Amino acid sequence: MDTRGGMRDEDFRFFRSLIHKETGIWLGDQKRSMLASRLSRRLRELRLDDLHAYRVWLETADAGGSELVHAINRVTTNKTDFFREPEHFIVLKDWVAGRGSATRLWCAASSTGEEPYSLAMTLAEVFGMQAPWSILATDIDTEVLAAAAAGIYGEDRLRTLPAGMKPRYFLRGRGKYSGQACVRPEVRRHVEFRRVNLVGEQWPVGERFDAVFCRNVLIYFDRETQQRVVERLLGRLVPDGLLFLGHSESLHWMAHQVETVAHTVYRKRVGQWGGGQ
Ligand SMILES: C[S@@+](CC[C@H](N)C(=O)[O-])C[C@H]1O[C@@H](n2cnc3c(N)ncnc32)[C@H](O)[C@@H]1O
């Protein structure tokens, strides 16, 4: 029996295919030890002996799928920052300022909230806090969504904010919250958090969006899944809407469907022919 990387071959194949089916995330052979170590943390909470026992649990005792949600939470990679890949926020700011209207954005892999709050601060700079702009922030991971909705961050997390934004958009913690900062409620009320699986059949996200940020998540998907997700995202945009992807997620291979507006910022190509008469 081969137990390389802390897991039997057959168990690795089971978890890999379960994660792929449920999340779109493809774990290559080199991710075996990482997968074992992330899932092992859950074993301790469930007092199970090994990953084989966890597999049996998932196969036989998880009819409602609630344990699957925990397993997915363990496997996702949630690295993010305020104003990560900052050029995108300049593009967004100029674009929304040029259009001049209230804006509805979707942040489709929002992790612990730094990205949707960066979008909120960007819109607040253009439209002010009273205008009716809104941001839907979604992720598959229920733990990061809960942290994001709380909007509390260690002061060290705020080091990537542009100058002057900290006092405008955050409250400093005192007492037991000393060393932390909380997103101001006036900002938070524009941001709604919801669990949405990008490879799920339904996307309960409502009306079309002016722009979608779906950054640094497609890299975890195989090419077929990337294409399906991108096509569905384009379908959720208003006709001149923008799709922002992560800096390493170029769509040069979909150039027939999208035109490039800025680095990894895309707009759906409009056909040269109109509809029928
Ligand atoms: C590396 S983080 C990127 C966060 C942020 N977009 C950024 O660029 O800083 C990737 C996020 O994608 C989420 N994710 C992974 N698979 C997903 C799926 N199938 N549906 C929705 N979110 C997913 C993870 O939970 C994680 O929070």
Does 233 contact ligand 1 (Cβ within 6 A)?
no
Calpha distance 49→265 (Å, rounded): 47
Please say whether the dihedral angle defined by the alpha carbons of residues 112, 247, 223 and 77, taken in this order, is positive or negative.
Answer: negative
144: confidence class by pLDDT, cuts 50, 70, 90:
very high
Evaluate if residue 274 carries a pLDDT over 80.
no
What are the residues facing 137 on neighbouring strands?
Answer: 107, 193
| 18 in Cβ contact with 72 (< 8 Å) | no
Q: Residue 253 contacts by C-beta under 8 Å, 6 or more apart in sequence? A: 223
277: confidence class by pLDDT, cuts 50, 70, 90:
very low
User: Which of 25, 69, 139, 144 maximizes ligand 1 atoms within 8 Å of its Cβ, making it the mutation to test the pocket?
Assistant: 139
| DSSP assignments along 119-184, one per residue | HHHHHHHHH-SSS--EEEEEES-HHHHHHHHHTEEEGGGGGGSPTTHHHHHEEE--GGGTTEEEE-
What are the residues facing 212 on neighbouring strands?
Answer: 106, 243
Structure confidence at residue 64 (pLDDT)? 87
Amino acid at 231: E
> In CATH, which of 2.40.50.140, 3.40.50.10490, 3.40.50.150, 3.40.50.1010 is domain 87-268?
3.40.50.150
Q: What's CA 243's distance to the chain center, in Å?
A: 14
| 57 in Cβ contact with 37 (< 8 Å) | no
275: confidence class by pLDDT, cuts 50, 70, 90:
very low
Does 109 contact ligand 1 (Cβ within 6 A)?
yes
CB-based burial label for 88 (10 Å; 0-12, 13-18, 19+)? buried
Marked catalytic residue, from 16, 55, 74, 139: 139
* Residue range 3-11: mean pLDDT, rounded: 84
Structure confidence at residue 273 (pLDDT)? 55
Spacing, Cα 185 to ligand 1 middle (Å): 24
> Each residue of 210-251: pLDDT tens digit?
999 999 999 999 999 999 999 999 999 999 999 999 999 999
Evaluate if residue 2 carries a pLDDT over 80.
no
Q: Where are the domains of the chain?
A: 4-75, 87-268
* Residue range 264-277: mean pLDDT, rounded: 72
Looking at every residue in the chain, the average pLDDT score rounds to: 94
Evaluate if residue 131 carries a pLDDT over 50.
yes
Does 27 contact ligand 1 (Cβ within 6 A)?
no
Evaluate if residue 93 carries a pLDDT over 90.
yes
100: confidence class by pLDDT, cuts 50, 70, 90:
confident
Evaluate if residue 266 carries a pLDDT over 70.
yes
What are the residues facing 258 on neighbouring strands?
Answer: 268
Backbone torsions φ then ψ of 43, nearest 5 degrees: -60, -45
* Residue range 134-155: mean pLDDT, rounded: 98
Calpha distance 23→139 (Å, rounded): 11
Q: What is the CATH number of domain 4-75?
A: 1.10.155.10
Structure confidence at residue 22 (pLDDT)? 96
Tokens of 228: 């399906």
